[in-house]
Structure 1
Amino acid sequence: MSVFRLPNAMPETDKSRLPEEKRAYENGKSTVNDPPWACGLSRERICSWLTTLVVLGTVGVLSACSGESRADLSARAASSTGKERIVAGGVRGLNYSPDYIHSFSVAGPRGMEGGGGNMIRAGKEGPGEAGERCCIGIPQPWMPDTKLEIEWELDRSPYDNDIQNGLEVMRATVTVPEYGPSTYGFWAIFLPEDRVKVMVMDGNANGHNSVRTKPPEDDPFVVQGVRDDAQTKKLQERYR
């Protein structure tokens, strides 16, 4: 933020003439452009500086009262200056569903493309987990309403011999929750009834991106997946 500073030193003036010159200046009869009582500053310069002070003060008040979050301000600043950066991160997954997840992939704007998979179904020990794969681009700063397309292949009967009929391909459009300036990879979290959530781990959760806590039923970032019939047919034909 710009800081207004007065000059370090003001010009010396003949203080004995101040009352007389000031009266003449106020009555419009002064012949000098820089009256001594103004410390060497012209009327135009004084008005310019006062205007600057008023504008700066107004901007500060509006920023404080606008209600914009830290992330919104950062996003707006980045979009206006174009100073966005992409940070590489690993991709991992958690599977709370009763289905085996063969693979998943995500695609979105600004380098957010990656994938993973090979997750066993959830058991008594907890969710199935995918090993980390490289890599996905994580934009900084986070931008509101960043959406990704996620697709995953699952097997509803992984321990039956009839693998063909258990295979399905699901799709969903997901929104990436807010994350901070320090990130620790991208996660896809699969839930019962073909629901899914994605997030970027940032170490402080922000109330929305805790990896080791199963998303609650009312989590606004959990999305219902939809079966892709065309891709499901192609997948099943590969195992004929």
Structure 2
Amino acid sequence: MSHTTKLLKTFFFSCVVILAGCDQSGASGSSAGNIRGYNHVASQHVNWFTVDGYRATLSGNTCCVMIPDKWRPGLTVHIEWEIDPNPREKIPMRKEGAGYDQKAYAQHKAKYIKYSADVPIPEYENSAGMSVHFLPCQKVKVYAGIASYGADTYPIKEPTNMEEPATCPK
């Protein structure tokens, strides 16, 4: 056996040993999953939101957020979001050209409100991403399991198009 062949075999064996040592299939890691948002409040629009800093909108799945492969007690996510409290307000269009009148749009945008909350993640066995539900009174619920919204096994049962109460409980 040549010296080069011995070096290649030694190198190959060393790589296998190193890679085997890196196998953490039994370790507590995280995996990427899509983010999906649901607005349950009829009188507002969620402009955008973040899950632990990963930005998303309500327009379908957004990639991605890191979710622990195994649930553990005390697991939470930090949610930030911005709402338009009057999404049906008519904003005048410019007389010439396309788009909104900039002054009117700036006045409308000044009414946007930002919120944040640390939200507990309910227990899950397998994750299929993170669903975020925006409820009245700036309440938020999340789900990280594999059931689809509306399924019998989906734990969040609040209806869509809920009304914001005149006063929110503290």
Alpha-carbon separation, structure 2, partners of 1:106 and 1:204: 19
Which of the residues 198, 201, 210 maps onto 2:154?
210
Alpha-carbon separation, structure 1, partners of 2:88 and 2:116: 24
Alpha-carbon separation, structure 1, partners of 2:82 and 2:32: 25
Q: Is the 2:51–2:65 Cα contact (8 Å) retained in structure 1?
A: no
**In terms of Rg, which structure is larger?**
1
Shift of 1:103: 0.3
2:54 paired residue number: 114
1:103 paired residue number: 48
Which of the residues 116, 128, 136 maps onto 1:192?
136
- Whether 1:134 and 2:134 are equivalent positions in the alignment is no
- Whether 1:92 and 2:36 are equivalent positions in the alignment is yes
Q: For residue 75 of structure 2, what is the amino acid of its counterpart? A: T
2:88 paired residue number: 159
Following TM superposition, where does structure 1 have runs of at least 4 consecutive aligned residues deviating by more than 4 angstroms?
Answer: none
- Whether 1:175 and 2:124 are equivalent positions in the alignment is no
Alpha-carbon separation, structure 2, partners of 1:178 and 1:193: 24
String of CA shifts for 1:178-205, please: whole Å, max 9, x gaps: 110x222111100112111112023399
Equivalenced residue count is: 116
Q: For residue 133 of structure 1, what is the amino acid of its counterpart? A: T
Matched residue of 2:137: which SS?
coil
> How has the CA–CA distance of structure 1 residues 179 and 168 changed in structure 2, closer, same or farther, with 3 Å as cutoff?
same
Q: What stretches of structure 1 of length at least 5 have no aligned partner?
A: 1-81, 108-112, 120-129, 216-223, 227-240
Alpha-carbon separation, structure 2, partners of 1:143 and 1:188: 19
* Identity across the alignment (%): 29
Q: What is the TM-score of this pair, normalised by structure 1?
A: 0.43
Matched residue of 2:72: which SS?
coil
Alpha-carbon separation, structure 1, partners of 2:148 and 2:87: 36
Q: Is the 2:79–2:117 Cα contact (8 Å) retained in structure 1?
A: yes
Q: What stretches of structure 2 of length at least 5 have no aligned partner?
A: 1-25, 92-106, 160-167
> How has the CA–CA distance of structure 1 residues 88 and 171 changed in structure 2, closer, same or farther, with 3 Å as cutoff?
same
Alpha-carbon separation, structure 1, partners of 2:49 and 2:148: 26
Q: What is the TM-score of this pair, normalised by structure 2?
A: 0.59
Alpha-carbon separation, structure 2, partners of 1:204 and 1:170: 26
Shift of 1:141: 1.0
Alpha-carbon separation, structure 2, partners of 1:132 and 1:184: 11
1:233 paired residue number: none
Matched residue of 1:166: which SS?
coil
Alpha-carbon separation, structure 2, partners of 1:169 and 1:204: 28
Matched residue of 2:73: which SS?
coil
- Whether 1:150 and 2:79 are equivalent positions in the alignment is yes
